[in-house]
Amino acid sequence: MIGMALSSLTGLASQILITRAFGTSAEIDAFYAANRIPEILFNLMAGGALASAFIPTFTTFLTRKDPDGAWRLASSISWLVILTLTVVSLLAWLIAPWLVERILTPGFEAQAQINLTVKLLRIMLISPVIFGVSGLIMGILNAHQRFAAPALAPAAYRFGIIFSLLVLVPRLGVFGLAWGSVLGSLLHLLLQIPSLIRISPRLFPGLGLGNPAVREVGRLMAPRLIGVAVVQLNFLINTIIASGLPEGSLSSITYAFQIMLMPEIVIAQAIAIAALPTFSAQVASGDLDDLRSSLMVTLRGLVYLALPASLGLMLLREPVLDLLFRGGEFQLESTSMVSWALLWYAAGLLGHSILEIITRAFYAMNDTRTPVLVGTAAMTLNAGLSLLFASLFTGWGLMPHGGLALANSLATALESAALLLLMRRRLNGLQTASIRRGLLASLLAALMMSAVLFGWLRLTSGQATWLVALGGIMLGLLFYWGSTLLLRAPEASEFPRLILRRVRRQSRPGL
């Protein structure tokens, strides 16, 4: 979590530089449209889809003390990922003009913007192959309970972006940002190599298509691949819809979603990445009671962190955006557009966070089918709601891109709720009584914190932005923690002890 917090800080720094360099201009709209294809390729072939199938299978070999089997599996998957992503990226490079005009941005009217999107896409298609290898290494390290380097790898990627913004963008414009994404993907890979070397990897030749473990990964990955494809299709639909909305809509929802992801990455993804190998080991050992207990304690801790983050971000979004991003090309209109999208995305932070954990529990049980079916239904609903809410917001005189964010939050909340109900049936109950006190304490404290922050915004109206934003953040954190301590939420005292214990261990290398 600490490593991913550092990664989020570098992400915040890069976001500040991007917004000040490009604002919500047509150029940055073209960049984010072009980036959609590399993101789709990575997520389909080497991101969440592969990790959800690979880690449980790889962990099973490690649990059974069969390192040769584990490394044969990892080697075969590596060659398959490299081959597949190389072929698909080359094909996408060849048909880039058709992809941009017919699929990505049919709403772009200016030919210059269309041509720019094509050129940016062809540069960024280098990244998926590099990210594919890096993503697999990340899964291998996580399966070995090595979380530091994978957690810091996104920070390395952001350093590539930051370098491009400081050095390349002043000379090359938005093309410098595209090359920065390629450089960042390479740094993402290189940072993890030393940790991989320390666990003594073994590389075997061949694609291993006859290896039963490889086929098992393929079997588990197939439904998850469909689910990821549906999610990426939903993002693509949002890109298509936003390309036909007023200029800046596409970059505004992208900025807002990335800002919402910052606390989600630090809180939910960090916990989920650490939990999946443990969940997988418990399933491999047949300890479903331990899995049930681990899942519920994890969810309680997640709610403790994500709920106040969601409400705080909704209330403090405008002063925070103004403090961090205002300047250069990012002025009042850009702040207003991004703030509007962030309001609706932040409302879905808890749903996104729960989804990260509950899907990992299904993957640990070698069930990728259930999350895919539920996710497909949710993302289909998301697409329909995006069209509906964008139209309704326009009719109500509101900025229509906010409807895209609301649709995402609502669909994700329903998806999380459905998966929780299905997991409850799968495990014959979720022991909710054992965590009810902690959940109620978190909810009550978060509501009281919201009231305090609302009063703070009224009290400091017209004051300096830094005072409103930073003061509100500190006040909210302290009030929430103090309230949960008084209400005896277990995490209020457990998290400080965990951090102190970790610090002491790090200060004594022999332990």
pLDDT at 175: 94
Q: Which of 323-332, 364-373, 407-416 has the lowest mean pLDDT?
A: 323-332
Residue 20 resides in a domain: no
Closest CA to 74 of 48, 47, 55: 55
Residue 230 resides in a domain: no
pLDDT at 66: 81
pLDDT at 262: 84
pLDDT at 46: 55
Query: Of the spans 22-36, 192-206, 314-328, 407-421, which averages the highest pLDDT?
Result: 407-421
Domain count, the chain: 2
CA–CA gap between residue 504 and residue 142 (Å, rounded):
23
Task: Indicate if 481 and 418 belong to the same structural domain.
Answer: yes
pLDDT at 511: 43
What is the average pLDDT value for the chain, to the nearest integer? Answer: 85
CA–CA gap between residue 190 and residue 296 (Å, rounded):
36
More confident residue, 326 or 301: 301
Mapping DSSP to helix (H, G, I), strand (E, B) and coil, where does residue 196 land? helix
Which residues, including other chains, have CB under 8 Å from residue 117's CB and lie 6 or more apart? 30, 33, 34, 100, 104, 105, 108
Domain end among 224, 239, 268 = 224
Backbone angles phi and psi of 489, in degrees to 5: -70, 130
More confident residue, 170 or 284: 170
CA–CA gap between residue 51 and residue 356 (Å, rounded):
13
Residue 233 resides in a domain: no
Mapping DSSP to helix (H, G, I), strand (E, B) and coil, where does residue 327 land? strand
Task: Indicate if 449 and 485 belong to the same structural domain.
Answer: yes
Residue 355 resides in a domain: yes
Task: Indicate if 126 and 212 belong to the same structural domain.
Answer: yes
CA–CA gap between residue 258 and residue 345 (Å, rounded):
10
Residue 3 resides in a domain: no
Whether 224 contacts 368, CB under 8 Å: yes
Residue 15 resides in a domain: no
pLDDT at 334 over 60: yes
Whether 341 contacts 402, CB under 8 Å: yes
Task: Indicate if 262 and 150 belong to the same structural domain.
Answer: no
Domain end among 190, 224, 258 = 224
Whether 155 contacts 6, CB under 8 Å: yes
Q: What is the pLDDT of residues 296-308, one digit of tens each?
A: 888 888 999 999 9
Q: What is the pLDDT of residues 335-345, one digit of tens each?
A: 889 999 999 99
Q: What is the pLDDT of residues 149-186, one digit of tens each?
A: 888 888 888 899 999 999 999 999 899 999 999 999 99
Task: Indicate if 215 and 255 belong to the same structural domain.
Answer: no
Over range 362-373, report the average pLDDT. 83
Domain end among 189, 224, 259 = 224
Res. 480 pLDDT band, cuts 50 70 90: very high
Task: Indicate if 282 and 398 belong to the same structural domain.
Answer: yes
pLDDT at 288 over 50: yes
Residue 234 resides in a domain: no
Closest CA to 439 of 486, 493, 494, 489: 489
Helices (H), 396-464: 401-426, 436-459
Count of CB atoms situated within 10 Å of the CB of 153: 28
Task: Indicate if 213 and 172 belong to the same structural domain.
Answer: yes
pLDDT at 147 over 80: no
Res. 274 pLDDT band, cuts 50 70 90: confident
Task: Indicate if 197 and 257 belong to the same structural domain.
Answer: no
Res. 40 pLDDT band, cuts 50 70 90: confident
Which residues, including other chains, have CB under 8 Å from residue 27's CB and lie 6 or more apart? 116, 173, 174
Mapping DSSP to helix (H, G, I), strand (E, B) and coil, where does residue 425 land? helix
Mapping DSSP to helix (H, G, I), strand (E, B) and coil, where does residue 179 land? helix
Rounded to 10°, the helix 26-45/2-22 angle is: 150
Closest CA to 383 of 247, 280, 241: 241
Task: Indicate if 175 and 292 belong to the same structural domain.
Answer: no
pLDDT at 509 over 70: no
pLDDT at 244 over 70: yes
What domain range includes position 498? Answer: 248-511
Could you tell me what percent of the chain has a pLDDT over 90?
A: 32
Two tokens at 139?
A: 């899964």
Task: Indicate if 189 and 274 belong to the same structural domain.
Answer: no
Residue 489 resides in a domain: yes
Q: What is the pLDDT of residues 46-83, one digit of tens each?
A: 556 666 677 777 778 877 788 888 888 888 888 888 88
Whether 351 contacts 420, CB under 8 Å: no
Which residues, including other chains, have CB under 8 Å from residue 75's CB and lie 6 or more apart? 202, 203, 204, 205, 206, 208
Task: Indicate if 136 and 274 belong to the same structural domain.
Answer: no
Could you tell me what percent of the chain has a pLDDT over 70?
A: 94
CA–CA gap between residue 492 and residue 145 (Å, rounded):
26
Over range 6-11, report the average pLDDT. 79
Q: Is the dihedral of CA 403, 404, 405, 411 positive or negative?
A: positive
Task: Indicate if 217 and 313 belong to the same structural domain.
Answer: no
More confident residue, 47 or 377: 377
